Amino acid sequence: MKTIKPLYLVGYRCTGKSTTGKLLAALMGASFFDTDKIIEEKCKTTIEQMVNQRGWDYFRLKERQVLLDTAILSNSVIATGGGIILDPENRNFIQTHGICAWLYADSATIVARLLADVKNYESRPRFTEESLSLETQKILDLRTPLYRKLGQIQINTSTHSPTQAASIIKRRIVHVR
């Protein structure tokens, strides 16, 4: 099989990056990695605990280190943390080292997904003291232009299931290599 550059999945929380990524990796015969899980394994703590104890800047540093480590990977699908695109160096790295697919959903869908999975919701650090709906919309307003610019493939996961999203990405990937 031909070696391909890593495929990076970017997007906000609960847009299906991990679920879609696992399905896509299986479809493509590729390896799957989740940067948030790698950080938690390397640091032996949860992201929420890390952020609460050391702050967002420390977490973002660890996130960048893990992203840079993906440079050696090929034939891989990599689900990234939602905020990885905030750092211009990270965006440049993803652009130059791989193919990028942006998974997105509307604010109401994201909030519903967060609230539907209490364990998942409670393990994610909050960004503001605002209501979850207002916080989600504010963060989406900030990040969406960055995701949109980076995403060579763009999938609305409000209207596509993870299985559908994985199939669409697999079909479209040949057009962005």
Q: For 7-172, which CATH superfamily applies? A: P-loop containing nucleotide triphosphate hydrolases (3.40.50.300)
Q: What pLDDT, on a 0 to 100 scale, did the predictor assign at position 90?
A: 97
Overall pTM surpassing 0.75 (yes/no): yes
Q: In angstroms, how far is CA 133 from the centroid of its own chain? A: 20
Note the pLDDT tens digit of each residue in 97-125.
999 999 999 999 999 998 887 665 455 66
Q: What pLDDT, on a 0 to 100 scale, did the predictor assign at position 118?
A: 62
Give the pairing type, strands 31-34 and 99-104. unpaired
18 contacts 34 by C-beta, under 8 angstroms? yes
Instruction: Report domain extents, the chain.
Output: 7-172
Instruction: Work out the mean pLDDT of the chain and round it to a whole number.
Output: 90
Note the pLDDT tens digit of each residue in 60-103.
999 999 999 998 888 999 999 999 999 999 999 999 999 999 99
- C-alpha 49/C-alpha 130 separation (Å) is 20
Q: What pLDDT, on a 0 to 100 scale, did the predictor assign at position 69?
A: 93
Q: What pLDDT, on a 0 to 100 scale, did the predictor assign at position 127?
A: 66
Q: What pLDDT, on a 0 to 100 scale, did the predictor assign at position 1?
A: 40
